[in-house]
Structure 1
Amino acid sequence: MDALFSPVFGKTFSAFLFDMDGTLLDSTASTERVWGNWARRHGLDVDAFLPTMHGKRGIDTIRALDLPGIDPIAEALEIEKGEIADVDGVVAISGAVAFLSALPADRWAIVTSAPIALAHRRLAAAGIPIPTVMVTAEDVRIGKPSPEGYLLGASRLGVEAGQCLVFEDVEAGVRAGESAGASVVVVAATHGHGPKTPHPRITAYDDLHVRVDVAGMLSLRRVAAA
């Protein structure tokens, strides 16, 4: 098996890099309310459109649609305002807060496609602490599936991306982690089984334990259910 797809449990990593929406917190209902209303106003097939926009920057999603007479920057800002105003139902993925609290502050980061104001709003709503290092939509020239965000997150932590474990929930993010050279684990808490990949998957953080060795390296293992 290719090393990229080797099991992550028991390996050691310099740092963990987390996507936010669908990975640390569930914002699906809020996201789909706001984007669904936007899609209806623009005459899109809402049911077909919504599965395609998760995990990507809003501006990249809008640009890819190439709608006539649309200013992607203005539309993305309007959607961002709507998402900041609507955090009803935004909650942490089960076990995520306790899991993050077990990590050294300088050994993990969030790499999200959300703008920084929205990221802060949703993390607060879910009761998740703001990390020391966070990469948001404003920090990258090209969003996921480009690896730019994960490469930047690793760099800001002072480690190589290839020494990191990426936690992701959708195909665009998984591809970004792979392209960065990181190992990947899929969080299938909000999208059913998640994308079809060879990577290991989890549905929550409750049965995970992280070990920090004397050198500060992290390793992940599953805890058997009682």
Structure 2
Amino acid sequence: MTLPTRSYAAFLFDMDGTILTSIASAERTWTKWAIAHGLDAATFVPTIHGVQSVETVRRLNLPGVDPVAEAAAITAAEMVDVDDIDPIAGAAAFLASLPPERWTIVTSAPRALAEVRLRAAGLPIPATMIAADDIPNGKPAPDCFLVAAERLGVAAGDCLVFEDAAAGIAAGEAAGADVLVITATHRPGHGVRGLHPHVPNYLGISTTLGSDGTLTLVTTA
């Protein structure tokens, strides 16, 4: 476990793979879609994480396929498959410990899907949440984190981004924020830790609140 040592004005959390795990749900839906479109699901499905569904479909450049319509259909299927969505260990208590004006969620999922998954995991939905619907340019573009910081009234460079996927890490970097990588859902060879601090989950960490309202991560006994 490694933690950043500076204090931050706010924390910005990715959702899938960072505060909750919906990997099984998402991969079931995308596997069915891939097979229906003649794709090698084993090769394709690992590429879906961390980016907007419409961008995942668009980059395939499949003839006769409307990325917007396909993404909408995929989202609808994902919204009814929530049985095994769970919070990352310690996430609920960690989020509950934070001042509400000092954190938000920044997700590549459409808002409706994000809300369904957060409820399924028993996690709060912040009023300032940024979802795919809010940002024309998804991760790895920095827009989502820049807008999230603006909504919280802080500079992105004074934020700590919690992420698990390469696209989100790149977005956080491009926004000028620091990044903490959550590795709970990483498989062998995931390869996105890089030079960033990383922790497996939220067990054993907490925050201290400075007199100026800033947050500092600390380990707990």
Give me the TM-score of the superposition, normalised by structure 2: 0.96
Root mean square deviation of aligned Cα: 1.1
Once the two structures are TM-superposed, the CA of residue 8 in structure 1 deviates from its matched residue by 4.7
Letter in 1 for 2:36: R
Q: Hey, what does 1:160 align to over in structure 2?
A: 155
Q: Hey, what does 2:220 align to over in structure 1?
A: 223
Once the two structures are TM-superposed, the CA of residue 223 in structure 1 deviates from its matched residue by 2.0
Q: Hey, what does 2:86 align to over in structure 1?
A: 91
* C-alpha separation in 2, matches of 1:32 and 1:59: 16
Contact 1:99–1:205 (CA under 8 A) maintained in structure 2: yes
* 2:195 corresponds to 1:198: yes
Q: Aligned to 1:178, what secondary structure does the other structure show?
A: helix
Q: Hey, what does 2:210 align to over in structure 1?
A: 213
Once the two structures are TM-superposed, the CA of residue 196 in structure 1 deviates from its matched residue by 3.8
Q: Hey, what does 1:151 align to over in structure 2?
A: 146
Contact 2:22–2:85 (CA under 8 A) maintained in structure 1: yes
Unaligned runs of 5+ in 1: 1-6
* C-alpha separation in 2, matches of 1:46 and 1:223: 41
Residue from 49, 53, 59 that aligns with 1:54: 49
Letter in 2 for 1:205: Y
* 2:36 corresponds to 1:41: yes
Q: Hey, what does 2:20 align to over in structure 1?
A: 25
Q: Hey, what does 2:127 align to over in structure 1?
A: 132
Unaligned runs of 5+ in 2: none
Letter in 1 for 2:51: K
Q: Hey, what does 2:107 align to over in structure 1?
A: 112
Q: Aligned to 1:149, what secondary structure does the other structure show?
A: helix
* C-alpha separation in 2, matches of 1:220 and 1:123: 24
Letter in 1 for 2:204: D
Once the two structures are TM-superposed, the CA of residue 9 in structure 1 deviates from its matched residue by 2.9
Letter in 2 for 1:223: T
* C-alpha separation in 2, matches of 1:94 and 1:114: 21
Residue from 183, 199, 224 that aligns with 2:178: 183
Letter in 1 for 2:120: A
Contact 1:133–1:156 (CA under 8 A) maintained in structure 2: yes
Contact 2:4–2:180 (CA under 8 A) maintained in structure 1: no
Q: Aligned to 2:89, what secondary structure does the other structure show?
A: coil
Aligned length: 218
* C-alpha separation in 1, matches of 2:155 and 2:36: 44
Spell out, residue by residue over 1:58-104, the C-alpha distance to the aligned partner (whole angstroms, 9 max, x if none): 00100000000001111000000000010010000000000000100
Structure 1 residues 8 and 196, CA gap change in structure 2 (3 angstroms): closer
Give me the TM-score of the superposition, normalised by structure 1: 0.94
Q: Hey, what does 1:3 align to over in structure 2?
A: none
* C-alpha separation in 1, matches of 2:3 and 2:181: 11
Q: Aligned to 2:119, what secondary structure does the other structure show?
A: helix
